[in-house]
Amino acid sequence: MTSAKKIAVITGANKGLGFEMARQLAQVGVRVLLAARDPQKGEAAAAQLRGERLNVESLKLDVTDEQDRATAAAFLEQKFGRLDILINNAGISVEVLGAGKVSTTTDDAMHRTFETNFFAPVALTQALLPLLKKSDAGRIVNMSSILGSQTLQADPKSPIYDFKALSYDASKAALNSFTIHLAYELKDTKIKVNSAHPGWVKTDLGTDAAPMEIPEGAKTGVALALLGEDGPTGGFFHLGNTLPW
């Protein structure tokens, strides 16, 4: 093991929320691996943070690729011998958020969205779980969305009631279910598993219409990654507040 510092992997970390969470974690002394599908973009992002004197490196990882997941796990095992923090941040939307109709949602949209937003984080977490179990305080953060809240989507009085896109919303609801089930399985270990809603943030997905800046949006995921021993597990949070499933 090369370092006693916490080791973190953040998927989709070459831009947006993933990049900012990497910055904020590195600023408090975590050694962060910025996982990105495109190795050149990943390395460019890591170089930018190294220019800020932060301890980061890039990791080539297409979360939907089985071989990439296995290669990443082997690399982490060999170099660090453990993993302390996994943030499943990579995600897509192939529909216009808030403008989707069930009657026009295509099979392709459903399959592509679930592949990245649900099946990939489940498979990656399974691949890296043996390393997380070697941590003194493993933390798994699934970057979800308030749009995955079944309770709020069903409530006519909810602020998101009229903001629907089946493939994206359902994929985040499934990711939340994964959080609940994995937290239950690991309830007698030191690993904590939680879902995070970053807020409506000015990212490629959130667009410039979003009210929140990226540094603010990164705070929820970072806080859950750094939870203390008495912190929660199996929950859904935004800036310290619990959200309904």
Query: What residues are paired with 196 via a beta bridge?
Result: 143, 237
Q: Is 172 a catalytic residue?
A: yes
CB–CB of 176/144 below 8 Å?
yes
Decide: 15 and 9 in contact? Cβ < 8 Å: no
- Among 15, 79, 133, 168, the one annotated catalytic: 168
Q: Which of 101, 161, 172, 192 is catalytic?
A: 172
Burial of residue 159 (CB within 10 Å: 0-12, 13-18, 19+) is exposed
Rounded distance, CA 133 to CA 140, Å? Answer: 11
Strand partners, 212: 201
- The single-letter DSSP state of residue 99 is B
Compute the half-sphere exposure of residue 221: CA atoms within 13 Å on the CB side of its CA: 34
Active site residue 190: no
Q: Would you name the residues annotated as active-site residues?
A: 168, 172
